[in-house]
Structure 1
């Protein structure tokens, strides 16, 4: 692949013009890259390989188009057939679980968060792919390693993450008294209160929104020093720190736009783009859509990391996207080859460009992509691997932590207290019981 290194360097240094050109790389160019790669790649697909792949439904259309071009080029260069099916965030894990339990139907899943950890014994060892990519692409961020490794073995490859960051309307924040986005918990609460008072409310999901609700509510727990489990994976949820997090979130909820307790992952996008919502936690997809469909909103919005916790450190749960290969596939070499090809610089860099900030890398070289600085509003999404924790927090990622986030243990605790269906102690104890059933 050294033949193509100069192109990659020029892409990384070339700014917006080259980025736009790369993001629209012709099918012929991509096919040429794929053919050259296939000749030298360590993995040789099995003859007649047919891969059934499941991935999440797109939130940024250009990302999906760029991804399907990569699929098409790989198929033509290798003779492998890849059937791609798409499911919503909330339907993806159940479909993957059915395949894992039955041992059929899917070969490869590009999923959410800690999906490989739900059934690690069904995952192909991807250590060779991870090592290959790490050496070639600047190494893995520690959060990438945490999302991919179990007991020193890579059971999945973290392709990227969607940063769960604050999307806000600048004029509304300034009118509420915050010319700069607050960096502490008290300032953030003051901003939310002031925005609601002015009729420009905030709102974050408290329903079963796999990305949005899990993301900001894990942050709220960690920011107050709370944890679901400790470093030995013992459940420690029922604590004064959790109580403080619950009270803090209920205070925010009191100033939210109505209805957030039933929101899914697309609810806040729609409300923000309709001008009903002025602050939320989301990927960059709201901004990408606004630039296209409502430039006035795009002009008046910006992004920020969530405030630091009580100890001054920022810990966030971003929506990691790991890819796994089931170990019952008949075509492990084809699956490994495709996974590695996806993250090769020659197409991953323009793919990130096409995603317009929606895919943040775990491989460190990709933080140099000009998409992160061509528009300063994109820049906060560049560094999500730095602030990312896995759903296990300070604990060890594994089947139990994966099950806890899949079952919305934390989300339900916060939602039950905020909506008044449980008092503070009952909400904590209910969640503690649910967690202890999982972490037996």
Structure 2
């Protein structure tokens, strides 16, 4: 039986997609798995332990089809194997605590679907996943770069986690206001992007980006500022590199861009940009697919009109070879304390096979992007041309802690808002770029010296 624990609303609960979206997602999901190229590869042959029962822990839904289809797939697993599955959904900000409690106490869920870096933080406490990752990669066209970064040990072929999907944050904008500001298309040049934001402010529909402690939104924006100017938190060996000419240029740019933004972004929470965009207070932001689909499926003509005028594009590349953004990644782990490691791996394998995975991916309407290349043929990516930019969400070299190893230090820098606050101090005039990046350098080095 699949269930869920009682939970408070998630970080963008006000913007979760409703019943209309659920219907659309399930309809798309029902047509999925029809065109996925699948190689004939021998199964790993897991043998679930007698009497196995699985508890699964994962982040709460952000759009309704996510949970509905995930639960349906879990029930199908039970029907086919006889293994009872319970799925507990946890509010996003509470997931790190829940994961830490499980690993530190040695008891809890048999399958933990945490976020990107989690398997690396508990590397000595997870079951190796190399056999399953090798099988799925061979069967479904290989793994995208971000999946390999989060799945494998740094500079190793050993897999610690099994990435299941990522949610990216491209530009979300109003096409008519972009044109009114003097642009026929979204510019890819940083200077032109600044001019666009200046133009949007001039016509009364400014851009909006969070440099507050808004989960997801603020780190995505701060990382884009950093990476688009060729800067990074650390080098390949894990040496902190924030105090650099490239970071100084990024800070100067952030200060100039802040002057064009809607007032109040320094106090935004995770739902603020969603609300402001749908209300017409801003004409451009950075977000997942939720803004578009909440407006498109709303039983409200005004919101439907917003959706019709909404489009998406990659954030400007600047000096980056690809879109300088990453994806918030779901990463499945099997803790060593579980009594049912074979059943747990078989469950993850089952959930990643086309018959289950593609209906889930398609039904999520573009919110999650696939880690395996074959799923680029999923029906969702041809269902609406406005979703195209989300298709390659995990086809990126960028990740939290770029360019170094994924480690507890990288996670601590994120959790303590080191990079976000570095930009916020300059954007608000509290410090000069030189002062702020030196402070950030010192703060990051405390963790990396750990």
Normalising by the residue count of structure 1, what TM-score does the alignment of the two structures yield?
A: 0.88
Q: Secondary structure at the match of 2:331?
A: strand
Question: Displaced runs of 4+ in structure 1, greater than 6 A?
Answer: none
| Aligned residue in 2 for 1:23 | 29
Gaps of 5+ in 1: 1-17, 30-39
| Aligned residue in 2 for 1:103 | 106
Measure, in 2, the Cα distance between the counterparts of 1:406 and 1:120: 19
1:52-91 aligned within 5 A: 52-91=55-94
Q: Secondary structure at the match of 2:137?
A: helix
Contact 2:145 2:397 in 1 (8 A): no
| Aligned residue in 2 for 1:207 | 212
Provide, for residues 219-273 of structure 1, a one-character-per-residue CA deviation record: whole Å limited to 9, x for no partner: 2101111111011111111111111111111222222222222323322222222
Measure, in 1, the Cα distance between the counterparts of 2:25 and 2:62: 20
Measure, in 2, the Cα distance between the counterparts of 1:353 and 1:163: 16
Measure, in 2, the Cα distance between the counterparts of 1:270 and 1:85: 28
Matched, 1:304 2:304: no
Matched, 1:324 2:327: no
Provide, for residues 32-88 of structure 1, a one-character-per-residue CA deviation record: whole Å limited to 9, x for no partner: xxxxxxxx7622222332333222222211222111111111123223232222223
Q: Secondary structure at the match of 1:111?
A: strand
Report the Cα offset of residue 313 of structure 1.
Answer: 4.4
1:389-400 aligned within 5 A: 389-400=398-409
Gaps of 5+ in 2: 1-23, 34-42
**Change beyond 3 A, Cα 1:107–1:412:** farther
**Change beyond 3 A, Cα 1:54–1:420:** farther
Provide, for residues 5-58 of structure 1, a one-character-per-residue CA deviation record: whole Å limited to 9, x for no partner: xxxxxxxxxxxxx997561379xx9xxxxxxxxxx7622222332333222222
Say which of 184, 191, 195 aligns to 1:190.
195
| Aligned residue in 1 for 2:168 | 163
With 378-387 and 107-116 compared, the bigger mean Cα shift is at 107-116
Say which of 420, 442, 445 aligns to 1:436.
445
Provide, for residues 80-127 of structure 1, a one-character-per-residue CA deviation record: whole Å limited to 9, x for no partner: 232222223222112211222222223322222312222222221111
Matched, 1:338 2:344: no
**Change beyond 3 A, Cα 1:421–1:103:** farther
RMSD: 2.2
Higher helix share: 1
| Aligned residue in 2 for 1:363 | 372
1:24-423 aligned within 5 A: 24=30, 42-150=45-153, 151-293=156-298, 294-310=303-319, 313-423=322-432
**Change beyond 3 A, Cα 1:422–1:67:** same
Measure, in 2, the Cα distance between the counterparts of 1:394 and 1:248: 22
